[in-house]
Amino acid sequence: MSAKIAPSMLSSDFANLAAEAQRMLDCGADWLHMDIMDGHFVPNLTIGAPVIQSLRKHTSAYLDCHLMVTNPLDYVEPLAKAGASGFTFHIEASRDNWDRVSKKVKESGMRVGVCLKPGTPVEEVFPLVDSGDVDLVLIMTVEPGFGGQKFMPETMSKVKALRSRYPSLDIEVDGGLGPSTIQQAADAGANCIVAGSSVFGAPDPAAVISLMRNSVQTAQAAH
């Protein structure tokens, strides 16, 4: 259960995506977090499989795709073909068919992630994780759809509950993470950290990535 720092490419210069991806990897990023929004499940509209496919030609990095879409099932095949590494879908968008989504993602060769909005009880994902088909749970620490929001500390109780129940699960947090909030997330048990503006807006992104990794590793050692 290693620390993984995943800069959110939503905060990058989209006109220079390949160069921005390489810059983050050179700064020590473990994963590249790709926010896929359909303009329906969330108001914003970002990227889809064609952009993932284009980026894949320029990098062998782990592409951690977060699907903020109404019909996750429709995206599994296109993203697998495009070269996505991980496919994280929202439980709120797939309460009727999460088992079909997770199995299809797994069969397509991608890692399976499931995500919760701030208002969704953590208990909703227990059946998915218990099924054995889920590799990662993403706890949103802001409302999904836009970058640059303020971290919601009350969401840390979900991280703690997950870590207590699943000691070896990859638990990811996304939203408002940076030097001032990383300690709360690390202490709660998160090991995968998504950070956008705090990394891309920093004078020294490598220092921010390093600080966040150290926080996670120190918290793990303490527990």
Question: What tokens were used for 52?
Answer: 């993932």
Is 189 labelled a binding residue?
Answer: no
64 is catalytic: no
Is 148 labelled a binding residue?
Answer: yes
Is 83 labelled a binding residue?
Answer: no
Catalytic residue of the set 74, 135, 174, 204:
174
Is 8 labelled a binding residue?
Answer: yes
Q: Which residues lie across from 4 on neighbouring strands? A: 192
Backbone region of residue 6 per phi and psi (left: phi > 0; alpha: psi in -120 to 50; beta: other values):
beta
> What is the C-alpha radius of gyration for the chain, rounded to an integer number of angstroms?
16
96 is catalytic: no
Bridging pattern class, strands 192-195 and 170-174? parallel
Which residues have a Cβ under 8 Å from the Cβ of 38 and sit 6 or more positions away? 45, 68, 69, 70
Catalytic residue of the set 35, 38, 64, 135:
35
Is 147 labelled a binding residue?
Answer: yes
Is 58 labelled a binding residue?
Answer: no
Is 145 labelled a binding residue?
Answer: yes
What is the DSSP secondary-structure string of 33-91? Answer: EEEEEBSSSSS-B---HHHHHHHHTT--SEEEEEEE-S-THHHHHHHHHHT-SEEEEEG
Is 33 labelled a binding residue?
Answer: yes
Annotated binding site for a divalent metal cation: 33, 35, 66, 174
Annotated binding site for substrate: 8, 66, 145-148, 176, 196-197
- Active site members: 35, 174
Annotated binding site: 8, 33, 35, 66, 145-148, 174, 176, 196-197
